[in-house]
Chains A and B, each alone.
Chain A
Amino acid sequence: MEYLPLIGIVVVILGFALKLDNILTVIAAVIVTGLAGGLGIKGLLDTLGSSFVSNRNITIFITVLIVTGTLERSGLKEAAAALIGKIKNASAGAIVSAYAIMRAVFAAFNISFGGVAGFVRPLIMPMSTAAVKNKYGELNEEHEEQIKGMASSAENVGNFFFQVLFVGGSGALLVQGTLAGLGYEVELVELAMAEIPVSIVAIVVAILYYNIRDRRLTRKYYGPKNK
């Protein structure tokens, strides 16, 4: 019987793995764990209520949303497009790398401008494919497939490893809240600083990877004369 509270963990893992409703999964795990752990209904509601109130800092993302919409309306995406449009005579790998850097810098300031649907598809892909066609007169289908993959990867890597640098981001707040529940008090700035080396290594690795990979694909599909 002492292992009964672990049933909540099983609920979380199964719920997410089976793609059940995420909120239902978490609430079910909360209820099951609380009751199996002997908190009782009142104890469960108390724990849930007090932890929600003490974790209200996570709702700071709503505070940021107050201006996000109007930033969009005022032409933020157009400005980002104008910025990356300044790149001329670059390979597809270099354009993808430039996007990774731009996405990373903006993610560190909690700014997004459309992701794959809103930015990669209408801007980065046409730029990259035009660059290849200009240089080699054709675009190999398989090369195009991999450029699409790299551009989506640049979106993910730039976003994941740099959003943690934003002081007040959801990830760090969740970490802070989880640690506080276990008795460890940590500051948001310290959490962001711990990630700086990781962020830098991630972007360097990603840029090297995209450029090496693109060069290799170029040699493969357009002949050895074009290195």
Chain B
Amino acid sequence: MAFFTDAEVTLGSKLLEIIYMLTGFVTIYTGIKNLRDPENPSRIGTAVFWTILGVIISFGRWIPATVVGLLIIIMCIPAVLKKVKMGNVQKMTVEETKANFEKIGMKVFIPAFVIGAGALVFAVFTDLGALVGVGFGVLTSAILLIVLLPSNKPAVIINDAERMISTVGPLSMLSMLLACLGSVFTAAGVGETIAKLVSGVIPKGNITVGIIIYALGMMLFTIIMGNAFAAITVMTVGIGAPFVLSYGADPVLIGMLALTCGYCGTLLTPMAANFNMVPVALLDMKRRFTVIRNQFVIALIMITFQIIYMIIFH
């Protein structure tokens, strides 16, 4: 409680902590609901994953770091063993969504856009931060959904949230775990080791060469790994920081565009199966590489543009 009454802590941080708590509660609810669901083929594993995750999101600030670290390892065990499953989620039929659309019409876009708008407005016009804006937007969106369509009761929203969380599953935590891996890399001195290793190849102090290698490396690593999020952790610690950022380049521009350079790799690789291979099956294409064939030129133009843009404006 001391955190919330502390005058040193900004209002934005306090509100964000409340948003984490609410988010964590919905995650814990997902765990408990599935624990009590006889239709879930793996009740315990599912409950362990979501409940622990929810507890860390809600109360992580007040739990000793060692305990959180241990909890994360425990939480990942059922995920790795594929024991986190969907149970009996609240049904949604095409007839229902059609009927709802006939009642609401295009106004359904309002509660959809209000989330992004909230993030933007809060980031630009307040000092509470974009994420508090997202939280505010979600709350407004929920209220609008209830007002626009009375059959959207709070319980409907909570159970739809459970359906969505169960649908995205534990793999949705990958970017979080990759961020942690980045911190472990830094703590273990991986960046310096790579820097020493590569310094013979990359000339020191030449930002232009550094940018080109960082950008192409992002694309290449993503082609190999199929995941730009995994690539950016490794590449930023190993190449981006020591060979570009440490010479005074703008971390906003370089760090962010590195990600979209990685996305150029995603457009080119069969390793990104969800984006480039699954559509081949879904749309019954005759050749495996038809999707990649149709975005190849776009990816090459975009990587070139971004490298030039970074070199000019870094």
Contacts and interface: CB of A to CB of B under 8 A. Distances in A.
A190 B252 contact: yes
B294 A33 contact: no
B217 to A, nearest CB: 12
Contacts of A164: 256, 259-260
A198 B293 contact: no
Nearest to A36: B188
A59 B185 contact: no
A181 B221 CA distance: 21
B157 A201 contact: no
A71 B237 contact: no
B80 A53 contact: no
A39 B69 CA distance: 13
Nearest to B143: A67
Interface string B80-111: 10000000000010001110111011101101
Contact of A73 (B72, B96, B179): B96
Interface stretch (B2-10, B37-45, B56-64, B205-213): B56-64
A52 B238 CA distance: 21
Contacts of A69: 92, 157, 160-161, 163-164
Contacts, number: 451
B290 interface: yes
B199 interface: no
A70 B145 contact: yes
B283 A125 contact: yes
A92 interface: no
Given A45-B70, A121-B283, A146-B294, A22 B171 contact: yes
B294 A149 contact: yes
Interface string B129-164: 111011100100110010011001000111011011
A55 B255 contact: no
Contact of A205 (B131, B175, B259, B302): B302
Interface in B14-71: 16, 19-20, 22-23, 26-27, 56-57, 60-61, 63-71
B183 A195 contact: no
A74 B101 contact: yes
B134 A111 contact: no
A65 B286 contact: no
B109 A51 contact: no
Closest 3 CB pairs of A and B: A37-B188, A75-B101, A69-B160
Interface of B: 16, 19-20, 22-23, 26-27, 56-57, 60-61, 63-73, 76, 79-80, 92, 96-98, 100-102, 104-106, 108-109, 111-113, 115-117, 119-120, 123-124, 129-131, 133-135, 138, 141-142, 145, 148-149, 152, 156-158, 160-161, 163-165, 168, 170-191, 193-194, 197, 221, 224-230, 232-234, 236-238, 241, 245, 251-253, 255-260, 263, 266-267, 271, 275-276, 278-280, 282-287, 290-291, 293-295, 297-298, 301-302, 305-306, 309
21 contacts: A5-B190, A8-B190, A9-B185, A12-B233, A27-B177, A30-B184, A46-B65, A52-B68, A53-B61, A63-B23, A66-B138, A76-B109, A79-B109, A109-B112, A117-B282, A148-B283, A152-B280, A179-B251, A182-B236, A184-B245, A205-B302
